[in-house]
Amino acid sequence: MKHPARTSRRTLLALIGASLASAPLLNSPHAAARHAAVGLDDPAKKEIAMKLVSSAENSSLDWKAQYKYIEDIGDGRGYTAGIIGFCSGTGDMLDLVELYADRRPGNVLAPYLPALRRVNGTDSHDGLDPDYPGDWVRAARDEAFRRAQNDERDRVYFNPAVRQGRTDGLRVLGQFVYYDAIVMHGDGTDPTSFRNIRGRALDRARPPAQGGDEVTYLHAFLDARVWAMKQEEAHSDTSRVDTAQRVFLRDGNLDLDTPLDWKVYGDSYHLD
């Protein structure tokens, strides 16, 4: 079952990369050591991150099985699909299909681009039904489409989260906490977006890069995240924070080392 996990995605999501790239460099030896340490972009840690998100988004650790996933989960954002829940109503699905068309002209999804542009910002299926879901599944058999999903996931969500986490002096768990928040909330200008969740946290605690305690700051961030989730009924179950990320934090597992045990929506998961 795909759990509702989309909110406030905007095409300006892509701007986060540029804004983070212009962030001031941290010059202290302590900050330099953090930047040199293993981060969430380490291949093994990234694989853990993909499985953790998939447990919440797809009730499965098999995130690679989700390239073909597509359905309307009734959250007002049209079709939700793929490994990160690209949505027809929020712009990121359109960006993905445009990238795929650039790389594979004449592909099975390219004819839907005019319809995807029309329905962007709405929950409409106009011009997509009845064949779009089936053609998405067909496209997912193409390695070029799977690669495009990976690349858009990284460009819009994963890489910005890791960059901001490193800028704030956070270790692997903190970078993952940021990533999961951007996946769910996007980074728009509304009060529940990632940047505003982070802003609420900064009102209560300082991250390590500003001389604060990492555990204290991450608790403040997760408190702000829970507040944001509860602003929308679809997100009112906060177990992906309460019985997953908060468990790792209380265990002091700031490097997200295995073995890991957690629960999401009452389901138990384990990674060796």
Q: Which of 211, 207, 195, 11 is nearest to 96 (CA)?
A: 11
Q: What distance in Å separates the CA atoms of residue 17 and residue 267, rounded to the nearest whole number?
A: 34
Cβ-contact 182, 161 below 8 angstroms: yes
Q: Which of 149, 123, 121, 161 is nearest to 9 (CA)?
A: 121
Is 154 an annotated catalytic residue?
no
Q: Provide DSSP, 146-179.
A: HHHHHHHHIIIIIHHHHHHHHHTT--HHHHHHHH
Cβ-contact 271, 48 below 8 angstroms: yes
What's CA 248's distance to the chain center, in Å? 18
Q: Which is the catalytic residue, given 41, 57, 95, 152?
A: 57
Is 242 an annotated catalytic residue?
no
Q: Which is the catalytic residue, given 62, 71, 72, 75?
A: 75
CA angle 56, 149, 78 (to 5 degrees): 65
Residues with catalytic function: 57, 75
